[in-house]
Amino acid sequence: MTAHLPALIVISPLAIALLLPVLVRLSAELVRVVAITSALISFTSSIGALKYALAKGNWHYFFGGWPAPWGIEYVIDPLAGGMAVLVSFFSLLVIIYAGPYLVNKPAREKGYFYTLYLLLTAGLLGIVVTGDVFNLYVFLEISSLAAYALIASGGHRATVAAFRYLLIGTAAASFYLLGIGYLYAITGSLNMADLSELLPPLMDSRAVVIAVALIVIGLGIKMALFPLHGWLPDAYSYAPAPVIGFIAAVMAKVSAYALYRVLYFVLKATGPVSLALDVMGWMAAAGILFGSIMAILQRDFWRMLAYSSVAQMCYIALGISLANTMGLFGALLHILNHAVTKGCLFLVAGSVNWQTGVREIHRFVKMSRRMPLTMGAFIIAALSMIGLPPTAGFFSKWYLVLGAIQSGAWAFVIVLALSSLLTAVYFFRIIEHAYFKEPLKGKDGQRHATEPAKEGWELYPTMLVPILILGIGILALGILSEQVITHLLQFALPWRAF
C-alpha cells in the first residue's frame, strides 16, 4: 500500500466521488462519512509522501508501471508534497465545516455536493502531484468543471457567475493546452523532467516564445492574475459558503503553483520566460493596487474578500516574478499563509451569514458580542492580511520586500507598503463596526446582530472548530515561519537556497 501513496492521494477522492451517487441511495449520512474518510485518506497519504520526499529525495511514481516519458509520471518533490498536504488539509477541513450547511438539503443534493467536492479535490491534487504537462491539463479541467458546478449550486446569481467563469475558464484551459501543444510539437515530449532536458537549446525558438505567452495567459487567468481576474469577484461572492471556503483557500493557488512549476522547473526561467516574468511583475503590482482599491469600495463583505483575493494573488505573482531566492520564498510562503488566512476569512464570512444572515459590512455592528470567538479569529486573519507581526502575513511580506529590495525594484517596495495601508482601511472598517460602533436605533428596521448569543455554542462546533484551527494556525505559522522555510520551502526552490 505505501508503495502507491502518490497514486492514493488522487485516486482516493476520485474513486469515491464516482461511488457516491450510488451510495446516496442507501443512506445520506453514510455519504458524509465516506466522503470525509476519503479526504482523510488523501490527507494522510499526502503527509506520508511529503515525509518520504523530505527524507529520501524526490519520489517518482510511474502510473501502471509505464516508465516516463511514455507513461504518466507522478513526482512528489518537497514542493509538490507540500502543496498536496495544503490542498488535502483544506479539503478535509472544509468538508467537515460543510456538514451543517447540508443538513436540511434533500439526500440527492447532498450526494451531488460531496461528489463534486471530491472531484474538485482530486483535480487540484492531480495538478499538484503530476509530472506530466498534459496530465496537468486533464486535472485542470476536472477541477474546473467541478468548480463550475459547485459555484452554480449557490442559486440564481451564482449560476450566472458560474457560467461566466465557465466561459473564461474554458478559454484559459485552451490557452494552456495550445501552449503545451507547441512544446510537444518541437520536443515530442509531455513529461516535465524530459521537457526540461530537451528545451534548453530551443529556448529562443518562436514556438517556445509563443508557448510561454500562451501558458502564462492561460494559467494567469486561472490564478486570477490582474487584469485576467474578471471571473473571480462574482464567482467568489455568490458561491455557497463551504464551496468558497475551499476554492478561495487553494484553487487559485494551485494554478499559481502550476505556473511556478512550468516557468521555473520546465522552462528553467530562461529565454522568453524572463521577459514574461517582468511583464507579470508589473501586472501584479497594478493588480495589488487595483484589488485593494476595489475592495475598499465594496459594501458586501464577501465581495470585499473576493477583491482582496485578487490583490493577494498578485502578491504571489509578484514574488514569482522577482526571480530571486527571497522573492520566491515570499511567494511560496504567501501561498501557504494566504491559503490559511483567506480560508479562515471565508469560513468566518460563511458562518456569520449562516448564523445571522449578515453579509453587508454596515450590518456587522455588535457582531463581536454575538460571535466572540468567530470574530476573534477574524481579527487575527485581518491582521495577517494587512501584514502585521507576529501573524503569518507579515512574514511573507517580509520576504517579498526583502526580495524586491535585493533586486532594486523600489517601485514594488512602495506598492507593497501602500497595499498594506489600503488593506488596513478595508479590514479596520469591519473591526470598527463589529467592535466599536453602537447600533443606530430603529433605522429602517434593519436587523443588526445585536441579539446576545444564544445558549451554548455561538456556532455548531463542526463549523467553529475549523475556524479556530485556522485562526491559531495563522499565529503559529507566523512564529514558526523560519521552520517552514528551513524544513520545507528551501527545498522547493529551483536552485539551492543556502
Partner 1 sequence: MIVDFFLTNRPLWAVLISLVAAGLILLSDRRPNLRETITMLAAVGKFVIVLTMLPDVLAGQVVESAPLKLAPGISLHLRADALGLLFALLSSGLWVVTSVYSIGYMRSMKYGHETGYYASFAVCLSAAVGIALAANLLTFFVFYEILTIATYPLVVHARTPEAVSGGRKYLVYTLTAGQLLLIAVVWAQVVAPGAEFRPGGFLAGRITPPALDIMFILFILGLGVKAAIMPLHDWLPTAMVAPTPVSALLHAVAVVKAGAFGFLRITGYVFGPELLKETNLGSLLAWIAALTIIVASLRALAEDNLKRRLAYSTVGQLSYVVLGAALITPMSLVGGMFHIVAHAFMKITLFFCAGAIYVTTHKENVSEMDGIGRQMPLTMGAFTLGSLGIVGMPFVVGFVSKWNLGLGALQAGHPIFVAVLVASALLSTGYFFPIVYKAYFGQTRETYSRHEAKPSLLYPLVLTALVSLVLGIMPNFGLSFYQLAKMAAKSIIASGMVLAGGGQ
Binding interface with partner 1 (CB under 8 A)? 383, 386, 388-390, 394-395, 397-399, 401-402, 405-406, 413, 417-418, 420-421, 424, 428, 432, 435-438, 479, 481-483, 485-486, 498
The CB-of-335 to partner 1 minimum distance in angstroms stands at 17
- Which residue, 143 or 312, is less far from partner 1 as judged by CB? 312
| Alpha-carbon distances of 212 from 159, 176, 261, 283, 341, rounded to whole Å | 33, 9, 13, 16, 31
The CB-of-220 to partner 1 minimum distance in angstroms stands at 28
| Alpha-carbon distances of 436 from 184, 203, 364, 365, 372, rounded to whole Å | 60, 58, 10, 8, 13
The CB-of-459 to partner 1 minimum distance in angstroms stands at 18
Burial letters for 208-231: b for 16+ Cβ neighbours within 10 Å, e otherwise? bbbbbbbbbbbbbbbbbbbebbeb
- Which residue, 236 or 399, is less far from partner 1 as judged by CB? 399
- Which residue, 241 or 424, is less far from partner 1 as judged by CB? 424
Q: What distance in Å separates the CA atoms of residue 487 and residue 83, rounded to the nearest whole number?
A: 14
DSSP letter assigned to residue 66: P
DSSP letter assigned to residue 494: S
Give the three cell numbers for residue 47.
Answer: 503527509
- Which residue, 21 or 389, is less far from partner 1 as judged by CB? 389
The CB-of-394 to partner 1 minimum distance in angstroms stands at 8
The CB-of-183 to partner 1 minimum distance in angstroms stands at 35
Q: Are 305 and 349 in contact (CB under 8 A)?
A: yes
- Which residue, 355 or 423, is less far from partner 1 as judged by CB? 423
Burial letters for 367-392: b for 16+ Cβ neighbours within 10 Å, e otherwise? bbbbbeebbebbbbbbbbbbbbeebb
- Which residue, 105 or 429, is less far from partner 1 as judged by CB? 429
Give the three cell numbers for residue 52.
Answer: 518520504
DSSP letter assigned to residue 407: T
- Which residue, 237 or 420, is less far from partner 1 as judged by CB? 420
The CB-of-149 to partner 1 minimum distance in angstroms stands at 41
The CB-of-497 to partner 1 minimum distance in angstroms stands at 8
